[in-house]
Chain A
Amino acid sequence: AQSVTQPDIHITVSEGASLELRCNYSYGATPYLFWYVQSPGQGLQLLLKYFSGDTLVQGIKGFEAEFKRSQSSFNLRKPSVHWSDAAEYFCAVAPNSGYSTLTFGKGTMLLVSP
């Protein structure tokens, strides 16, 4: 069965500093990979996705993620964090065939300090 691990439950970053959120997955083949963001009391918004091709993908709000097959990782990065980035971030995978039944990680809560 596929699974997603986000090893950091909470991360605190100073405003203006860089950010990297970790995501590792377990899957028989290369799945489709996603990062979602959830602001307090809100639904989920898609930040970016990887299907194939270039392993560095750009998303909305200045986020990017890099797929590393050898490490089964899909880490999310941002060069300079803004206070409005404080939210919970979820990594998710979906099978690369059939229907898009997402499997989510447990999430990483990002706190931004002034």
Chain B
Amino acid sequence: DAGVIQSPRHEVTEMGQEVTLRCKPISGHDYLFWYRQTMMRGLELLIYFNNNVPIDDSGMPEDRFSAKMPNASFSTLKIQPSEPRDSAVYFCASASQGGSYEQYFGPGTRLTVT
């Protein structure tokens, strides 16, 4: 298995632009998580899905952030419009109930908003 796949690995954009981050979970996993990591705030859970349905989006910072999971093998996290304070590393992770919820992280997307 290729593990969790994220794209792009690096993204540099200007303030006000739309940013879309992509994630492909491990095949067979029924949970998908989006995290944001910064030096100041550590590792924060933004939103997670179970069987493609959003379960808890309480960590989404504001309406500029949205996430979708149209099918079991693909999810997106969109920021529109982006701001410099959104600069961070965004991780996607997946897990399965059958695997006792052990989360496997993707390589992350480093986002820089100038």
Q: Bound pair: A and B?
A: no
List residues of chain B with CB under 8 Å of any chain A CB: none
